[in-house]
Amino acid sequence: MEALKQEIMTVAKATKLGIDTSNLQYDIPLSTQGVDSIGMFSLVLALQEKFQIEIPDEDFGKLDSLVTIADYVDRRLRTN
């Protein structure tokens, strides 16, 4: 799980989130850190491409922090 968290942080920092990502935090909601809706579009698209998963709209809105995203991706990869 730690390796996956690192991978997700790497993806997030390589994505145009619209904020300075040098101090990006795992457990603080991305919106609180200043990530806007377009940043979330970019991040979720990058995650889909990186992990080869399709993230449906009903799950998209639940992905509010990198911790939540790591848990979600981990679950999806296990069930795929």
Partner 1 sequence: MIGIQAIATYLPEERINSLSRAETLGVPASQIETRIGFTGLSRAASGEQASHMGLQALKNLLAQTGTTAESIDLLIVVSQTPDQNIPHLSAELHGRMGLREDCSCFDIGLGCSGYVYGLSIAKSYMEANDLEVGVIVTSDPYSKIVDPADKGTALIFGDGAAATLLSRQAVFDIGKFAFGTQGNGAEHLTTRSGRLHMSGRHVFAMAAQKVPPNILESLRKSELTLSDVDLIIAHQGSLAVLQELRDRLNLPEGKVPFFSREYGNTVSSSIPFGLAGIWNQAELKTLVLSGFGLGFSWASTVLNRR
Q: Is 59 in the site for partner 1 (CB under 8 A)?
A: no
Closest CB 58 distance from partner 1, rounded Å? 12
For residues 64 and 30, the answer to whether their CB atoms sit within 8 Å is yes
Shorter beta-carbon distance to partner 1: residue 61 or 78 = 61
- In sequence order, the 6+-apart residues with CB closer than 8 A to the CB of 46 are 11, 12, 14, 15
In the region spanning residues 7 to 26, those forming contacts with partner 1, defined by CB under 8 A, are: 16, 18
What is the C-alpha end-to-end distance of the chain, expressed in Å? 16
Write out the residues near partner 1 by the rule CB under 8 A: 16, 18, 36-42, 44-45, 48, 57, 60
